[in-house]
C-alpha cells in the first residue's frame, strides 16, 4: 500500500508542469548624474512586472527583474551586459543613455539576448543592430526633425544657437536639428559644446550674449542645463532656452528653480494620455507616483518582453525577435509595430513648456 502511494505521488510529481520564475534583466543608470532617469525606468518596469504577475504571469510562471547599473557610462554598460549574460538571462530591458546602451547592445547581439530599450534614442542603436535589438521609444532623428520644425516656424528669422554636452545623445540630436534647419535654409549663429561635470558655464553664457542669441537649444542632461539656465538668468541674458527629452524629470527644476520658468522641451506626445494607459496612470497616481518621462515607456518595454517570451518561448530569443517583428504588440501605449530595425515608426514628438515646477504640452 505504501509502495503504491509512493508510486502515485512520484507519477503525479513528474507529470505535473514544473513552474519557475522567468528572470528579465533591467539595465539603467541607478547611480550617477542621471539616476532619476533610471528611477523612472525602475518604477515603470516594476509596475509592469507586478501587473503581469497579478494576471497569472506567463504560462503560470512569474516574472522577476534582475537589476544591473550602467551609470550612463559606456564601460559600465558593457560590464552590466556581461553580468546579464553571465547570469544566463535571455531577455533584458531598461536602458536610458545611448552612450552606454550602444556598446552594450553589441554584447547582447553576440550572445543572443533579446533587448528592448525604453530610452536610448540615438539612431545608431538600431541602425547598427540586427535580430535581437528593439526600442519602443522614438529616435533622435525623429525628435531632431520635430525640434527643427518648431525652430523654423517660431524662430526662423531669429538668431539660433545649438550647444551640446559632447555625449552620444547630445551630439546626435544636435546634428539632427542642424541638418533639418539647413534643409529649411535656416543657419545657426553658433554651434558649440560644453564639458559635463563643471559648475561654471560663464564662458558659454558670454558667447550667447555676445552673439545676441534669441534662442538656444541645449542638448544636455538636467544638471548642466539647469546650471546654464540659472547662470543665464544671473547674468541678465534674456534668451529662450530649449532642451530635449532628457529634461523630463524634476531634477532640472530643482537645480534651475524659478529661472527654468518658460524653458521649452521636446518630448513625445504625452504618453499618460494614451487611453490604454488610463488605469495604469491612475494606479501610479494613487500610489503618489507621477509617471513622468519614460516611466510608461519602461512599462511598455516590459510588456514587449513578456509578449516576446509568449511568442518565442523563454529560451529562444531569436524566435521571439522574429515573432515580435511580424505582429504588433499590445501595450499601454497602444499597439506597437516594430520594423525590421527594431524601431517603432511614426512616433510623434511635441513641444512642452516648464511652468511652476511642472511641464505641459504647448500648441505649436
Model confidence at 12, in pLDDT bands (50, 70, 90)? Answer: very low
The CATH number that domain 141-268+350-361 falls under is: 3.40.50.2300
Strands (E), 264-321: 264-268
Contacts of 211 (CB under 8 A, 6+ apart): 159, 161, 189, 190
Q: Reduced to 3 states, what is the DSSP secondary structure of residue 348?
A: coil
pLDDT at residue 197 is higher than 60: yes
DSSP 242-270: EE-GGG-SHHHHHHHGGGGTT-EEEEES-
* CATH 3.40.50.2300 boundaries in the chain: 15-137+273-347, 141-268+350-361
pTM: 0.92
| Calpha distance 4→8 (Å, rounded) | 6
CB of 251 closer than 8 Å to CB of 198: no
Q: Which of 82, 71, 138, 126 is nearest to 102 (CA)?
A: 126
- Phi first, then psi: give them for residue 122, nearest 5 degrees: -65, 135
- Beta bridge partners, 67, equal 26
Domain 15-137+273-347 superfamily per CATH: Response regulator (3.40.50.2300)
Q: Give residue 20's pLDDT.
A: 67
pLDDT at residue 10 is higher than 90: no
Question: For residue 303, how many C-alpha atoms fall within 13 Å in the half-sphere facing its CB?
Answer: 24
Question: For residue 352, how many C-alpha atoms fall within 13 Å in the half-sphere facing its CB?
Answer: 26
CB of 166 closer than 8 Å to CB of 195: yes
Strand 63-69 relative to strand 114-117, pairing: unpaired
Strand 63-69 relative to strand 22-28, pairing: parallel
The cell numbers describing 246, all together, are: 532628457
pLDDT at residue 11 is higher than 60: no
The cell numbers describing 327, all together, are: 505582429
Segment 12-40 shows an average pLDDT of 79
| Calpha distance 212→238 (Å, rounded) | 9
pLDDT at residue 15 is higher than 80: no
pLDDT 10s digits, 98-154: 999 999 999 999 999 999 999 999 999 999 998 999 999 999 999 999 999 999 999
**DSSP-derived secondary structure letter, 90:** -
pLDDT 10s digits, 326-346: 999 999 999 999 999 999 999
For the chain, the residue count is 364
Question: For residue 179, how many C-alpha atoms fall within 13 Å in the half-sphere facing its CB?
Answer: 13
pLDDT at residue 364 is higher than 90: no
| Calpha distance 322→93 (Å, rounded) | 17
Q: 186: burial class by Cβ within 10 Å (0-12, 13-18, 19+)? A: middle
**DSSP-derived secondary structure letter, 8:** H
Amino acid at each position: 500500500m505504501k509502495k503504491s502511494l509512493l508510486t502515485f505521488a512520484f507519477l503525479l510529481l513528474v507529470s505535473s508542469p514544473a513552474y519557475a520564475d522567468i528572470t528579465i534583466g533591467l539595465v539603467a543608470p541607478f547611480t550617477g548624474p542621471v539616476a532619476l532617469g533610471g528611477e523612472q525606468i525602475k518604477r515603470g518596469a516594476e509596475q509592469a512586472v507586478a501587473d503581469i504577475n497579478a494576471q497569472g504571469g506567463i504560462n503560470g510562471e512569474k516574472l522577476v527583474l534582475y537589476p544591473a547599473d550602467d551609470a550612463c557610462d559606456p564601460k559600465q554598460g558593457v560590464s552590466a551586459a556581461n553580468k546579464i549574460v553571465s547570469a544566463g538571462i535571455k531577455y533584458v530591458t531598461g536602458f536610458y543613455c545611448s552612450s552606454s546602451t550602444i556598446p552594450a547592445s553589441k554584447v547582447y547581439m553576440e550572445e543572443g539576448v533579446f533587448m528592448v530599450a525604453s530610452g536610448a534614442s540615438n539612431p545608431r542603436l538600431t541602425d547598427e543592430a540586427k535580430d535581437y535589438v528593439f526600442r519602443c521609444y522614438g529616435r533622435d532623428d525623429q525628435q531632431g526633425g520635430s525640434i527643427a520644425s518648431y525652430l523654423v516656424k517660431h524662430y526662423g528669422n531669429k538668431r539660433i544657437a545649438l550647444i551640446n554636452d559632447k555625449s552620444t545623445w547630445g551630439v546626435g540630436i544636435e546634428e539632427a536639428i542642424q541638418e533639418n534647419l539647413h534643409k529649411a535654409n535656416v543657419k545657426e549663429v553658433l554651434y558649440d559644446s560644453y564639458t559635463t561635470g563643471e559648475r561654471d558655464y560663464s564662458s558659454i553664457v558670454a558667447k550667447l550674449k555676445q552673439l545676441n542669441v534669441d534662442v538656444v537649444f541645449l542638448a544636455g542632461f538636467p544638471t548642466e542645463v539647469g546650471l546654464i539656465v540659472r547662470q543665464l538668468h544671473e547674468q541678465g541674458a534674456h534668451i529662450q532656452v530649449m532642451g530635449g527629452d532628457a529634461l523630463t524629470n524634476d531634477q532640472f527644476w530643482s537645480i534651475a528653480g524659478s529661472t527654468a520658468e518658460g524653458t521649452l522641451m521636446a518630448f513625445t506626445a504625452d504618453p499618460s494620455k494614451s487611453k490604454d494607459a488610463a488605469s495604469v496612470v491612475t494606479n501610479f497616481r494613487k500610489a503618489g507616483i507621477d509617471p513622468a518621462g519614460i516611466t510608461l515607456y519602461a512599462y511598455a518595454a516590459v510588456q514587449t518582453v513578456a509578449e516576446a517570451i509568449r511568442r518565442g518561448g523563454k529560451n529562444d530569443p531569436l524566435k521571439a525577435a522574429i515573432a515580435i517583428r511580424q505582429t504588433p504588440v499590445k501595450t499601454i501605449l497602444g499597439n506597437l509595430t516594430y520594423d525590421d530595425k527594431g524601431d517603432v515608426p511614426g512616433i510623434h514628438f511635441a513641444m512642452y513648456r516648464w511652468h511652476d515646477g511642472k511641464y505641459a504640452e504647448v500648441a505649436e
